[in-house]
Structure 1
């Protein structure tokens, strides 16, 4: 006996068995379903005393007293049967907001409702006058009984990519039946398939032969000829079914194929049989570059890997499983069709679909896999509807090219494995019942294991874990008991823990005003030079023309985010991103590198009454990079100038014998590439190298020294090419535990210093944690520093 759960109950059931209902909406072919509207009879119609274009009417709506209604329609007349919206009823016009009827006075006369035009209640687009109905209708009859507006419920299901079996109404119904069978411990519930009636035969046969040259890409191809077809708009029931699921009705032939696609999950294609030259269909590949005009009127150059449906002259008529051709499609003048129901391999369909940018419903289903056993049944179902709704007659036997029947997948799972993976002790009877209800064939049951044949409708199932998933979802994931005790083995993780380090740095940056971004690791090849692209990983089946390579650099995707924000007047940006870059040195040889990147642009300090605005600059970026490394305990860094594509004023920070960071200003040409008109600073931290450079020991805090620090200053006259980094490096060669800090606090240039000379004012901070320093101890270290600067840097000490 059929069961009819309420929409809310069915929503819960679907979610429980793994078909998560994301929304549940009521569909109405007529908004409001004419609720509260009734049939009325116009008893009187006289001129309104205060308005030339209005009439005063009395209308019998089946109540004890007729209603007084002011009507402005030019065609209202005594004796008409009309649609009336009485007080309290709500109407839903095709345009405008819903309106609830209230008692009103119009030009001084009372009006107790409204006599409706068809556009005012959603039945049509005409507003020429009120809707006049059959004179035999009885006043007081609800309007919904006359017009019978369709109501339905639409379930929006968030399917996971592997659930091809649930991409059809019959597939979902099969799961619901399995749920009820499990609930009641029975096998009586089954999805009811449409009955195929005896089909009318055409007096004159139309034979079209089929040849499949590429059986690997097309393992099964079925077709049938239908003549005498009359292309016309579909009946209301079919139009409403399609509108309910968001499909636009076109004509009866196209609508039938779309309807069956969603009903069964099997794509169909109808050809104009008169356009099939040679009365022959050939499934084959054509040479690369062959031109083909698709249904949208565009000429496309075919790839040698595109599987094509061709006519007897090997001329292309359709990209198999993807999109039809302009010259073989069904039109309003088509009377003879050849209907195709085929199975194509998913990998080839997906490649062709992306290659030509044609993401159709058919391609989506073929690339996930269709039920190969269903091809002929679906063909018969579609042919029956075409004969019923389009007046067609069957003009040939069904052709079914299926040279090698696909074997069913065998899966064996032990009872112990099912218990271990699910965490629940299922009875063998329950497991068998669930699997049989889903279409699995039980091959063997032993004390140790269960062997089944997987139905063709579930091509994603191939391993024991898949069987366990089917059992668990039909029985209900919420039926797996949560144990009262959780027994775990303590895990030993390598130190430092990568995730902890990453979280620490992310927390530091976020706490300092940075926003974390996540950009696509697939990007556009046009951003990069031919030299870079030689080492870049290219997509075989790229998602679009703009997303065709794995990014070799993090800079470009970050600039996309900056440009997006700048275009929306969000101009002060501090971004950070953890991500990966990719490279290749040959076939099968790939490198994946982790990065932490910082992006700065705009102002580091907005203007106020207290101080002027200050833009981000190199030292602002340098400070954050230095703080990130300091947070991780990485010190003893070496700075080196760098020339790198895309950056100017670039530097590289080395530590632990390898490059850790590259930073600098994004170059003008690169900014122009993204239409960015303000400076951007970029730092690329090699996260893998940073993790390798982390100290192996914990960093402990120490108490604040009790003894004071002492500062001494030196003014060093040096050649201009000597950098402060060289001064700092030379100072560190003086091995002294007393020297705590070195700082550059002034830079001076003058002709008095000499040609090509510069003066650095440098402070040195000394401190001993055990005692107060004496001048003698400090002077000794200062003497060593002076000698080092004079020897290594040829410095002159300014007195």
Structure 2
């Protein structure tokens, strides 16, 4: 949120320096993220002076130049070569002497130096308005009022606005500080606490009596939905002239980054940022039947908003309608095209209301309209402030646009709100804050913030919360108010901390996740984070039947919660490939979602993506594309990192992968891997192979042993390796060999590895040879040949009987 220093000081009884005010704001929890100088005119005309042209003669060496002498009130006249066609003796002009820096519109800054132009000396420059940032004209130099005195600083004549702006990192609960008066209240409370007084009060603007119009224009207000609109205030103003705003109003808005439109709209924006109360001005000619009705319109009613877009309304969208039942604006969110103020508007109806936060937020997101008004309404505004803000805006409209009040203020408030009461104890404040605040200090802070004391004892107090703080409802909220107004930097930091040791859950999910992430990052992977909301067009109708659909999607491209991790990762890969980043190793921890018969399921996953080259190409070695076996190696190593040693391989059913494989541990699928199909890659315009693996993270954690200690002592006794060459049917997969070996169930067999595949007609028709190594280890003693031979004999017999294998001797 942006706050103007000069604007804020209009409501303060004292005027601290910009730096002092920055410190105060940060101390009271309104953290100043930046403090920047604002200049309506770049450079603020520094160094420029008023001059009087004494002579203007033709340049001897150039037809379009003139030699001038200019009195700048500082001794000898300046000799200046000028190319403006309108320069003449006797004029009062703006002069940039030597050493002055000017800031042309759309150009680079230029510092004046002594120069020779076509052989004649020039000691400065006579300026056009675009050359010093005062306007767009370059038709000639600026000719000023003849009464101005030479030597007068140009800044004193034009008075370009200067200010300081604060960018405040406002937390979502601080709607009370979303205005200049709201911030001023906090500053006054801080000053009162600092000096143990109650003398500092916000200086609210004086509201003058409104001039009455000769002809009345009464407009009635009816609230059909008081839950969505508990209070609605309005007034009719006639005889307005829509025109540009005065400079002071333009500068106030420009300082905080708001573009000036016209005097009526600018006034509503000014009062919004002054008081925090959104307003809306209707062209009274659009208020048919001289009646305003706040109600809901039927589902899919078409409404054209100010941006000239047709929007289909939801039946829950609250609308401001006229007496004919036609929508004039989406309440608290956005105005309508046919009811807004235009250059021809003469009569207006000014609205100041409160709308329920939940409804505003839903409507705002549904239609993608994130306006200043909606932002404030959805956080909650001060219900007691509608009439004051209306009076303030009406007075300014009458003053600046020539309007006159054509009706009394209409204030429909059927169920006046009662202030929330909160009770707390001084002991609780100490416990939560860690500081021992004196009771008088606490009460002084709360009174300065607008709280009313309802009841108090030596140990406790009960207060009524001001309507400007709708977020406060708990004792902890009061503690926060006391702490920040006393200054968050006043909270004592204890010299020692007492803690009780806690035992982490088994398995330690964060530790396991970090262990795997470190392994992947150490092997060249980059972690990505993709959006869990994705596009339904990526999925088949069968998948979409169980997809979780968004009720209030921000865009048509983001309309479901992702049913799988693959597609959002392919979006990231496509993005990188389109930018010539072609060798990608990605991993991601994320969630998928689906609809169950009762409720919803949220599943955790770890996914890997590989595409491009295996390693960078160098003069020492050639490179090659990654393949399935690279992916398989990483998948197995991740599982081994988690302590899994024995796996079952089965063909997978995922239609997005070809080939598709599943890895089982204890008959549960813990990982699926394979190559992404060409059809799926085409959806993302990816033209190179992508290898993908997804781990069912929930199952992996569920299968882990209670102790998540995966570290083991190095064996004291040596391992022994034996090799076998098996001649098998050509269709036989190594997974079958491994499964048969595991079926022997020997405690000594630690590892099985395929290290060579050989095919030749010499082996026989449709035959191949697997060279397999077997590693044996006994952690208690050194193995003997007899023990190893016994296991090998069992393995050979198993291979011969179950796989019809022939052992190559």
Q: TM-score range by the shorter chain?
A: over 0.9
Q: Distance in 1 between matches of 2:326 and 2:711?
A: 78
Is 1:688 paired with 2:688? Answer: no
Q: Distance in 2 between matches of 1:667 and 1:691?
A: 29
Select the residue among 588, 593, 610 that pairs with 2:603.
Answer: 593
Q: Distance in 2 between matches of 1:164 and 1:38?
A: 46
Q: Which string of whole-angstrom CA distances, capped at 9 and with x for unpartnered residues, describes residues 255-304 of structure 1?
A: 11111111111111111111211111111111112111111112211111
Counterpart in 2 of 1:620? 630
State whether residues 718 and 796 of structure 1, in contact with CA within 8 Å, keep that contact through their aligned partners in structure 2. Answer: no
Q: Which string of whole-angstrom CA distances, capped at 9 and with x for unpartnered residues, describes residues 412-436 of structure 1?
A: 1121211111111111111111111
Select the residue among 203, 206, 214 that pairs with 1:203.
Answer: 214
In structure 2, the CA distance between the partners of 1:386 and 1:699, relative to structure 1 (3 Å rule), is: closer
In structure 2, the CA distance between the partners of 1:700 and 1:245, relative to structure 1 (3 Å rule), is: closer
Give 1:133 deviation, angstroms. 0.6
State whether residues 728 and 803 of structure 2, in contact with CA within 8 Å, keep that contact through their aligned partners in structure 1. Answer: no
Give 1:404 deviation, angstroms. 0.4
Unmatched segments (≥5 aa) in structure 1: none
Is 1:152 paired with 2:163? Answer: yes
Alignment of 1:270-669 (within 5 A): 270-586=281-597, 589-669=599-679
Is 1:28 paired with 2:49? Answer: no
Give 1:708 deviation, angstroms. 6.5
Give 1:621 deviation, angstroms. 1.1
Counterpart in 1 of 2:5? none
Give 1:215 deviation, angstroms. 0.7
Q: Which string of whole-angstrom CA distances, capped at 9 and with x for unpartnered residues, describes residues 304-342 of structure 1?
A: 111111111111111111111111111111101111111
Unmatched segments (≥5 aa) in structure 2: 1-11
Alignment of 1:42-57 (within 5 A): 42-57=53-68
State whether residues 91 and 121 of structure 1, in contact with CA within 8 Å, keep that contact through their aligned partners in structure 2. Answer: yes
**TM-score normalised by the chain length of structure 2:** 0.95
Is 1:240 paired with 2:262? Answer: no
Deviates more, 1:114-123 or 1:26-35: 26-35
In structure 2, the CA distance between the partners of 1:8 and 1:457, relative to structure 1 (3 Å rule), is: same
Give 1:770 deviation, angstroms. 6.7
Q: Distance in 1 between matches of 2:25 and 2:552?
A: 34
Q: Which string of whole-angstrom CA distances, capped at 9 and with x for unpartnered residues, describes residues 22-77 of structure 1?
A: 11111111111111111001111222222222211111101121111111111111
In structure 2, the CA distance between the partners of 1:542 and 1:415, relative to structure 1 (3 Å rule), is: farther
State whether residues 210 and 401 of structure 1, in contact with CA within 8 Å, keep that contact through their aligned partners in structure 2. Answer: yes
Q: Counterpart of 1:604 in 2: which secondary structure?
A: coil
Give 1:607 deviation, angstroms. 2.6
Q: Counterpart of 1:581 in 2: which secondary structure?
A: strand
In structure 2, the CA distance between the partners of 1:28 and 1:426, relative to structure 1 (3 Å rule), is: same
Deviates more, 1:592-601 or 1:110-119: 592-601
**TM-score normalised by the chain length of structure 1:** 0.97
Counterpart in 2 of 1:114? 125
State whether residues 707 and 770 of structure 1, in contact with CA within 8 Å, keep that contact through their aligned partners in structure 2. Answer: no
Q: Distance in 2 between matches of 1:44 and 1:33?
A: 29
Q: Which string of whole-angstrom CA distances, capped at 9 and with x for unpartnered residues, describes residues 153-174 of structure 1?
A: 1111111111111111111111
Q: Distance in 2 between matches of 1:610 and 1:40?
A: 75
Counterpart in 1 of 2:192? 181
Q: Counterpart of 2:478 in 1: which secondary structure?
A: helix
Counterpart in 2 of 1:137? 148
Q: Counterpart of 2:596 in 1: which secondary structure?
A: strand
State whether residues 634 and 695 of structure 1, in contact with CA within 8 Å, keep that contact through their aligned partners in structure 2. Answer: no
Is 1:726 paired with 2:722? Answer: no
Alignment of 1:48-127 (within 5 A): 48-127=59-138
Q: Distance in 2 between matches of 1:474 and 1:232?
A: 43
Give 1:756 deviation, angstroms. 4.8
Q: Distance in 1 between matches of 2:29 and 2:356?
A: 26
Q: Which string of whole-angstrom CA distances, capped at 9 and with x for unpartnered residues, describes residues 593-614 of structure 1?
A: 2222111111112333333321
Deviates more, 1:355-364 or 1:493-502: 493-502
Q: Distance in 2 between matches of 1:478 and 1:496?
A: 40
Q: Counterpart of 2:614 in 1: which secondary structure?
A: strand
Q: Counterpart of 2:548 in 1: which secondary structure?
A: coil
Deviates more, 1:537-546 or 1:572-581: 537-546
Give 1:493 deviation, angstroms. 1.9
State whether residues 36 and 142 of structure 1, in contact with CA within 8 Å, keep that contact through their aligned partners in structure 2. Answer: yes
In structure 2, the CA distance between the partners of 1:79 and 1:262, relative to structure 1 (3 Å rule), is: same
Q: Distance in 2 between matches of 1:432 and 1:780?
A: 87
State whether residues 13 and 203 of structure 2, in contact with CA within 8 Å, keep that contact through their aligned partners in structure 1. Answer: no
In structure 2, the CA distance between the partners of 1:700 and 1:29, relative to structure 1 (3 Å rule), is: closer
Counterpart in 2 of 1:258? 269
State whether residues 96 and 126 of structure 2, in contact with CA within 8 Å, keep that contact through their aligned partners in structure 1. Answer: yes
Q: Distance in 2 between matches of 1:560 and 1:578?
A: 16
Q: Distance in 1 between matches of 2:779 and 2:317?
A: 77
In structure 2, the CA distance between the partners of 1:241 and 1:700, relative to structure 1 (3 Å rule), is: closer
Q: Distance in 2 between matches of 1:744 and 1:522?
A: 43
Q: Distance in 2 between matches of 1:72 and 1:190?
A: 57
Counterpart in 1 of 2:183? 172
Give 1:751 deviation, angstroms. 5.5
How many matched pairs? 797
In structure 2, the CA distance between the partners of 1:770 and 1:264, relative to structure 1 (3 Å rule), is: closer
Q: Distance in 1 between matches of 2:683 and 2:470?
A: 46
Q: Distance in 2 between matches of 1:430 and 1:33?
A: 45
Counterpart in 2 of 1:228? 239
Q: Which string of whole-angstrom CA distances, capped at 9 and with x for unpartnered residues, describes residues 141-195 of structure 1?
A: 1111111111111111111111111111111111111111111111111222111
Q: Distance in 2 between matches of 1:708 and 1:634?
A: 19
Q: Distance in 2 between matches of 1:182 and 1:647?
A: 67
Q: Distance in 1 between matches of 2:553 and 2:460?
A: 43
Counterpart in 1 of 2:4? none
State whether residues 302 and 313 of structure 2, in contact with CA within 8 Å, keep that contact through their aligned partners in structure 1. Answer: yes
| RMSD, matched Cα | 1.8
Deviates more, 1:574-583 or 1:733-742: 733-742
Q: Which string of whole-angstrom CA distances, capped at 9 and with x for unpartnered residues, describes residues 527-573 of structure 1?
A: 22333233333333333332232222222222222122112111111
Give 1:693 deviation, angstroms. 2.1
In structure 2, the CA distance between the partners of 1:188 and 1:790, relative to structure 1 (3 Å rule), is: same
Q: Which string of whole-angstrom CA distances, capped at 9 and with x for unpartnered residues, describes residues 328-387 of structure 1?
A: 111111101111111111111111112112111111111111111101111111110110
Q: Distance in 2 between matches of 1:573 and 1:363?
A: 42
Alignment of 1:709-788 (within 5 A): 709-718=720-729, 720=731, 722-750=732-760, 753=763, 756-767=766-777, 775-788=785-798
Q: Distance in 1 between matches of 2:293 and 2:778?
A: 91
Q: Which string of whole-angstrom CA distances, capped at 9 and with x for unpartnered residues, describes residues 120-152 of structure 1?
A: 011111111111111111111111111111111
Q: Distance in 1 between matches of 2:628 and 2:702?
A: 26
